[in-house]
Structure 1
């Protein structure tokens, strides 16, 4: 009999490629999966039920917006209450809680029904809250995680530094499951790549690409200014995603032809956009504790596409870039001149660029979802015992 897994997600599944990989792996392995996802802006659908890449999704349509900080506490409470009562009404074997902001309803419902709990921590969440300027709630979040994490049956996270943090908060069994990508999803033809580049109007340009959370910690305004101020018309910055910088980046694109703003795209579109780019950007401020302990999707998207990455030197991302030599690291990303130096090192030396591309392809032997999936399935197998 199939084991039923309920996944709790605080954002639309459409934008979460990592979760799509995890859930498709579980479905292929024979698990019966359903996702409860909060689409607070109804950006992808206003329908409560649907499927995303074949994965059943039950949407929670409580209206809110990103970047509101403590102003959306009531909306979170509504999400928790709705999810909690839905969990009480259905049968399931495992509840898979993605990040701290879904853990409370998942733990309470699973304990009442004597079911297994998997905590999937993509972030050091209290540190993330510091980045998002929600400082008053940070001690409460750390305390809540320390209490709830002792009640779960297993924990997975994306990096060793976050694993160390969670152990200090009381986690017992932790497995690192990196955010690697399925290589088959990046297998596009030259015609498909050229078609997208033509659509974006960058077919004859050297493209630097970022897609993801549009926040100040990602140094995106500083990067946009580099492209605005430089006289080289052969380079382009293609940027998209969601967050508090959407309007500012949209305006920058309107004022500068070397910045192309693509807005929000679904997770299953990211591989083609990555493949159609020349270099991927993933630069985080060194002041961000969370960004420098987690492993961003960008790193593994770049590797899967065989594209070099420019990233911060700190944390596990910097270590992997240096070990694989699949890109360039920026020692002090808070100084925009250092980001600019990395950008122009790549475009000024074709031999360096070619070598970085080759190294990114070689890194696929180690960092690919085809290997990571086995680790995830071992965790689930242990939950069944």
Structure 2
């Protein structure tokens, strides 16, 4: 008999890397009957042996998403009558409580430390940025005790969760081995004098400093893939003279991402010093590494442990565009050392930072809960 497990998301895209590509796909290969409930209006489908159920049109705003969308997700979850429910968004926590009352096994997956994240939300005023983290922390302490297990996407998140619920585990968001292997196989001498930034584009993710650094790297291009989350930031940087050094690619799929990584000589991830960034492990950092790229990262302690511990890149002050430019120029002007950094990055992925290691924690937890 196959056990039925259902992953729930009201905010993430259906092909989300952590939820669909890693967790759901791995569980399906492990012989679970896997459902994924989404809310994007793109219809139901079966993909990679995962049954995707769409609860309707994507919400027009946060309020609608946290009310109507959440209710639709709950109704579909109840209809699917599964052995395990795995929740991926904070607004779904009340659903978890309701499912527990029905006698279901419930896991909450904390992708972020939400109280810390709320402190840096640009749409919140100063009052709410101070009060909401406190309120949500108290809410977590009350509710998370009721769940069967908690998962943290980093060890720092899990350490906090363990104080609330001892049945807490870390499942890091490390890349899938071989997924970007075509990029890592590109020899250094045929790569262009280009660096890349892939992922969500925002001011607090350092995009203004990255683009400003191009003024000191006149012969180097930036491959920029992703969508701007703030219109005013997009308009500002596009008005700068150095914008002509940017290859704007927009949103790209995984195959296109591999091609971009394969022609670049470094990957940049210089998030600003916000509470939720310091203890984060951004996908893009490890994906750059899995493509055999040296990485230029913020000088946060956790990130320095990865970069300097594996000699696979350069850590900089994310607020200093000059420091970013110096790092880029060093990598471009020292090809042998840069290639060694890239090789070290790939070796670290193969031996430590990969999904095949992390999925074992997921499998073990599911077996213990059933």
TM-score normalised per structure 1: 0.84
Task: Kindly tell me the number of residue pairs found equivalent between the two proteins.
Answer: 358
> Within the alignment, does 1:93 sit opposite 2:83 as a pair?
yes
Q: Which residue of 1 aligns with 2:165?
A: 171
CA distance in 2, matches of 1:341, 1:171: 45
Shift of the 285–148 alpha-carbon distance from structure 1 to 2, 3 Å rule, reads same
Q: Deviations over 1:61-119 (max 9, x none)?
A: 44446xxxxx62243111211111222222101111114232221331x2132111111
Per mean C-alpha deviation after superposition, the further-off stretch among 94-103 and 248-257 is 248-257
Residue from 178, 192, 196 that aligns with 1:184: 178
SS in 2 for 1:6: strand
Residue from 360, 366, 369 that aligns with 2:352: 366
Superposition pairs of residues 140-289 of structure 1, within 5 angstroms: 140-168=135-163, 170-188=164-182, 205-227=192-214, 229-230=215-216, 232-233=218-219, 235-245=220-230, 248-249=233-234, 252=237, 256-267=243-254, 269-286=256-273, 288-289=274-275
Shift of the 63–368 alpha-carbon distance from structure 1 to 2, 3 Å rule, reads closer
SS in 2 for 1:210: strand
Q: Which residue of 2 aligns with 1:376?
A: 362
Q: In the alignment, is the contact (CA less than 8 A) between 1:154 and 1:173 conserved in 2?
A: yes
Per mean C-alpha deviation after superposition, the further-off stretch among 77-86 and 264-273 is 264-273
Shift of the 382–62 alpha-carbon distance from structure 1 to 2, 3 Å rule, reads same
Shift of the 163–308 alpha-carbon distance from structure 1 to 2, 3 Å rule, reads same
Q: Which residue of 2 aligns with 1:299?
A: 285
SS in 2 for 1:118: strand
Per mean C-alpha deviation after superposition, the further-off stretch among 50-59 and 213-222 is 50-59
CA distance in 2, matches of 1:79, 1:243: 24
* Aligned-residue RMSD, C-alpha: 2.6
CA distance in 2, matches of 1:189, 1:285: 28
Write out the 4+ residue segments of structure 1 that deviate beyond 6 Å after TM superposition. Answer: none
CA distance in 2, matches of 1:161, 1:177: 12
CA distance in 1, matches of 2:133, 2:184: 47
Q: Which residue of 1 aligns with 2:71?
A: 81
SS in 1 for 2:198: strand
CA distance in 2, matches of 1:333, 1:188: 30
CA distance in 2, matches of 1:207, 1:153: 47
Q: In the alignment, is the contact (CA less than 8 A) between 2:59 and 2:69 conserved in 1?
A: no
SS in 2 for 1:155: strand
Structure 1 unmatched runs, 5+: 40-45, 66-70, 195-202
CA distance in 2, matches of 1:163, 1:232: 43
Q: Which residue of 1 aligns with 2:318?
A: 333
CA distance in 2, matches of 1:266, 1:378: 31
Deviation at 1:190, TM superposition (A): 9.0
SS in 1 for 2:222: strand
Structure 2 unmatched runs, 5+: none
Shift of the 265–189 alpha-carbon distance from structure 1 to 2, 3 Å rule, reads closer
